[in-house]
Amino acid sequence: MNACNYFSMAELGAPPNVPKLRRRTLRAVRSLFTPLLPDDYLELINPLWSTRELRGRIERIDQEALDAVTVLIRPGFEWSGHRPGQYLRIGVVVDGVHHWRAYSLTSEPGRADGCISITPKLVDAGKVSPYLVRGARPGDVVRLGGVEGTFVLPEPLPPKLLFISAGSGITPIMSMLRSLHRDGTLDDAVHIHSARSVEGVIFADLLRRIDESNAGYELHLQLSGEQGRLSPGDLDRLCPDWRDRHTFLSGPAEMLDAMSERWEQDGDSGLLHMERFQPVIGGEPGDGEGGAVRFLGSGVEAHCDSGTPILVGGEEAGATLPFGCRMGICHTCVGRLCKGEVRDLRTGKVHGSEGEMVRTCVNAPEGPIEIAL
C-alpha cells in the first residue's frame, strides 16, 4: 500500500445518553453477538434504540411559510440540550444515499415534550431540503449528529438586545426568542426582520404572538420585495440606540458584510454577534488556479477548476468518496494530502504539506495534488 495510508468512514450520529444500566447490560451480552452488537438486532425492532448513535423520529411537519417547514423530531434518547442559536447536524437518506446537513435548531432547549425542531427552507437545487420540505413524513427516522455553534446568547443576558435577521436567517434567532419568551426575559429587545414577501415570512404567526404578549419586544418587518432591502442606513431609523445593544445578526453573506462594516466604522464590534448560516463555498472562479487531483485509493484522476472542491471534482470523475456535511464541519471527507497544495475555499488561504489531513469538501487543489482516498 502507499506510504500515505488512507482513512475514510461515513459519518455516524452523536453518541446518545444511554442509561448506565442499559449500556452495561448490552455490553455484558456482547459476546453472544460478535462481530455484531446487540444493537444490530435491537435496531430491527426499533431503529431509535440504537445506542451507537442518536436517532430521532419525525413527529410532525408544519408548513411554516411558502417553502419552509418546521420538522418536529423526537430523539430516541434524552436530548442532551443545546444553547439557543446553535445548529444541529442531521442525517437523512435521499435516493439510497445518506446525506448530512447542518440546520439551526429552532426549538427552545428543555421543551416539556422532549422534542426538538429544525426549520429548513427549500433549496431547489439541493438534495436534503427537498426531502425535508416535500418528501419527509411523520414516522421517518433521521440521524442526529452533534450540536455546534458559538452564535448564542451570552450569559448573563445583556439588558438590551437587537436581533437582525433576513430570510431563513431567522432560524437560530427563533430559538433565542422562544427561550426568552418562555423564561419571561424578553424585556428590551428590538427585532428587525426582512423577508421578500408576506407569504415568505417564516414564523410569521409566532412572531406576531410573541410581539403581542411581550411589551419589551418590538418587531419591525421589512418586506424587501416592496420596501427594498434592509441596509445599514436603516438602522438609525428603526433602532436609534443600536450602538448600545448586543446585536445578533443572521442572514445572507452580503447583509452580514454590509452590517458588520457599519459596526466596525460606527459602532462597537464587540457587541455584534453574527453567524453565516450559508457557508461560503465555491469562491469566485478566478481565485486560485485549480488543478489535477489523483486519488491514490481508487486511482481516479480528476480536474478541479479554481472554485471546485476536491470532493466535487472527484465525484464528477466517478470516484466514490466519503462525504458528510459538505461545508467543512464534520471531517467525514478528510483525506491525507500526499503531494501538492490546496486552497481553502472559505478563506482563500493556500495551505498543505505532505501528510496533512484536508477536508475535500472545502478545499480545491492549487496545482496538481495527490490525495490518499
Partner 1 sequence: MNPVTAETPTAEPASPLAHLSPEQLDELARELDEIRDHVVADLGERDRRYIESMIAMQRRLAVIGRVFLLLARHRPAQATGAAALSAAKILENMEIGHNVLHGQWDWMNDPRIHSSTWDWDTASTAEAWKHSHNYVHHTFTNILGKDKDLGYEIMRIDPQQEWHPVYLLQPLYNLLLAAFFEWGVAVHDLDFEAIRKGRKSKAQVKRELAGIREKAKSQVVKDYIAWPLLSGLATAAVDGAIEASRGSRRPGRWGRVARRALAGGRSSFRAAVAANAGANVVRNVWAYAIIFCGHFPDQTYTFTQEEVEDESSGGWYVRQLAGAANIEGSPLFHVASGNLGYQVEHHLFPDLPSTRYAEIAPQVKQVCERYGLPYNSGPFGQQLGMVQRTILRLAFPGGEARPKPGPYRGEDHPAL
Contact 251, 165 (CB under 8 A): yes
Q: Residue 120: which of 38, 64, 54 has the closest Cα?
A: 64
**Cβ nearer to partner 1, comparing 38 with 216:** 38
Q: Cβ closer to partner 1: 96 or 156?
A: 96
6 by DSSP, 3-state: which? coil
- Which of 98, 134, 209, 349 binds partner 1 (CB under 8 A)? It is 98
- Of 47 and 282, the one with the shorter C-beta distance to partner 1 is 47
CA dist 230 → 121, 164, 185 (Å):
20, 10, 27
Q: Which of 322, 335, 352, 365 binds partner 1 (CB under 8 A)?
A: 322
Selected from 81, 110, 240, 318, the binder of partner 1 by CB under 8 A is: 318
Q: Per CB under 8 A, does 320 bind partner 1?
A: yes
Tell whether residue 35 is a contact of partner 1 (CB under 8 A).
yes
Decide: is 41 part of the binding site for partner 1 (CB under 8 A).
yes
DSSP H or E stretch at residue 57: strand 55-65
Which one, 39 or 234, has the nearer CB to partner 1?
Answer: 39
Neighbours of 368 (CB within 10 A): 15
Q: Rounded to whole angstroms, how far apart are CA atoms 211 and 219?
A: 7
Phi, psi of 181 (to 5 degrees): -60, -45
- Give the single-character DSSP code of 204: H
**C-beta of 96 vs 286, nearer to partner 1:** 96
Region of 122-130, 207-215, 232-240, 317-325 interacting with partner 1 (CB under 8 A):
317-325
Alpha carbon distance, N-terminus to C-terminus of the chain: 12
Strands 161-166 and 189-195: parallel
Distance separating alpha carbons of residues 252 and 277, to the nearest angstrom: 7
Q: Which is nearer to partner 1, 9 or 215 (CB)?
A: 9
Q: In what order do the strands lie in the sheet with 55-65?
A: 97-104, 87-94, 141-148, 55-65, 68-75, 116-118
Report the distance separating Cα 174 and Cα 3, nearest Å: 50
Which CB, 24 or 41, lies closer to partner 1?
41
Neighbours of 87 (CB within 10 A): 24
Q: Determine if 316 is a binding residue for partner 1 (CB under 8 A).
A: no
Task: Please select the residue that binds partner 1; options are 31, 150, 265, 353, rule is CB under 8 A.
Answer: 31
Number of H helices, E strands in the chain: 9, 17
The verdict on 9 binding partner 1 (CB under 8 A) reads yes
Nearer CB in complex with partner 1: 95/205: 95
Q: Which is nearer to partner 1, 37 or 221 (CB)?
A: 37
The CB-of-300 to partner 1 minimum distance in angstroms stands at: 12
305: Cα separation from own chain's centroid: 26
- Please identify which residue in 95, 113, 205, 226 interacts with partner 1, judged by CB under 8 A: 95
Residue 12 touches partner 1, criterion: CB under 8 A: yes
CA neighbours closer than 13 Å in the CB half-sphere of residue 274: 23
Q: Tell me: does residue 139 bind partner 1 (CB under 8 A).
A: no
Does position 97 interact with partner 1 (CB under 8 A)? The reply is yes
Site membership for partner 1, residue 1 (CB under 8 A)? yes
Q: Take residue 105 and report the three cell numbers written for it.
A: 435548531
323 binds partner 1 (CB under 8 A): yes
Question: Does 8 interact with partner 1 (rule: CB under 8 A)?
Answer: yes
Binding mask 47-86 for partner 1 (x = CB under 8 A): ------x---------------------------------
> Min. distance of Cβ 362 from partner 1 in angstroms?
17
Count of residues touching partner 1 (by CB under 8 A): 27
CA distance 197 to 219: 16
Query: CB of 164 within 8 A of CB of 218?
Result: no
- Contact residues for partner 1 (CB under 8 A)? 1, 7-12, 31-36, 40-41, 44, 53, 93, 95-99, 318, 320, 322-323
